[in-house]
Amino acid sequence: MATPLPLPRGGFTVRINGFDMYCEVEGEGPLLVFLPGAFAGVDVFRPLVEAFRSRFTVLTADANGQGRSTLGPGPITYVSMTADLVRLFDHLGIAEADCFGLGDGGCCGLHLLVDFSHRIRSVSISSTIYAITAYTAFGRDRVTTIAQQMAAPQGFLKAVKDIYAQVSPNPDKFDEMARRAAKTWASQPSFNRAILSTIEKPTLVIASDRDEFVPDAAFRRLAEWIPGSKLKQIPGMGHVPGVFSDVLSGLVAKFVADVGEV
């Protein structure tokens, strides 16, 4: 298992590509980079982050305009968020890392595997779709109408907006951030078998059998198309881990440990 790097501890910001990226480093053990889901910074997924911190030294980073990060110029896409993360690696002196991505964070994890494989040791993903054509009917409707939904958010989206208002350094920028991100949701991701078959680094695909957005067949196809990947299912878990956070973090911890023994 990798020895934790001498990273800053606690919360801090790093100037990345025209915005101030908010980061946190806490926990004990091997380094794990946590990639949150759409519209959401680390504050939205505190229970999951804390579960990981019981097993890893966890680096979290809020993407452009999300969570506690300021909103910088340009589009908010999986490609841009992944490139910003690699810029953070460069700034912190991280040569390679084990990563975990949830939802949109998992899409960034796939881009790491495809475009920056030399900067990662392994990637674990949960609640992640490989292409917009693979969503459930519910998921497809949500991602194509997200801009309208954010005008009067309900449920999880309302919680995300409320937390943003509490923690963001520029809470008045939420609608602009959401507008940019919604363009990405309406057209991405767009991975296919040919692209995914080029992945060479160890990959863990975590399936959730009650995921409202991602059907079981999509999880299985994703794992089938990534050579040598592992597929694990958490019965009863939905798109957001919730009470299954400790189970999920345990699966990732075992996978990362097994990668280190190879």
37 vs 233: which has the higher pLDDT: 233
Q: For the ranges 104-113, 118-127, 143-152, 181-190, which has the lowest average pLDDT?
A: 143-152
Distance from C-alpha of 196 to C-alpha of 174, rounded to nearest angstrom: 33
Distance from C-alpha of 173 to C-alpha of 37, rounded to nearest angstrom: 18
Q: What is the mean pLDDT of residues 133-151?
A: 85
The pairing of beta strand 10-16 with beta strand 57-61: unpaired
Is pLDDT of 37 > 80?
no
Structure token digits, residue 117? 């494989």
What pLDDT digit, counting tens, does each position of 197-229 carry? 999 999 999 999 899 999 999 999 999 999 999
Tell me how long the chain is: 262
Model confidence at 3, in pLDDT bands (50, 70, 90)? Answer: very low
SS3 at position 215: coil
Beta bridge partners of 208: 234
pTM score above 0.85: yes
Identify the structural domains of the chain with CATH numbers, from first to last: 10-261 (3.40.50.1820)
Cα-based distances in Å from 62 to 69, 113, 132: 6, 20, 23
Is pLDDT of 4 > 60?
no
Identify whether the C-beta of residue 17 lies closer than 8 Å to the C-beta of residue 71.
Answer: no
SS (H, E, C) 90-114: HHHCCCCEEEEEECHHHHHHHHHHH
Identify whether the C-beta of residue 109 lies closer than 8 Å to the C-beta of residue 121.
Answer: no
Element housing 36 (H / E): none
Through-space distance between the first and last CA atoms of the chain, rounded to whole angstroms: 10
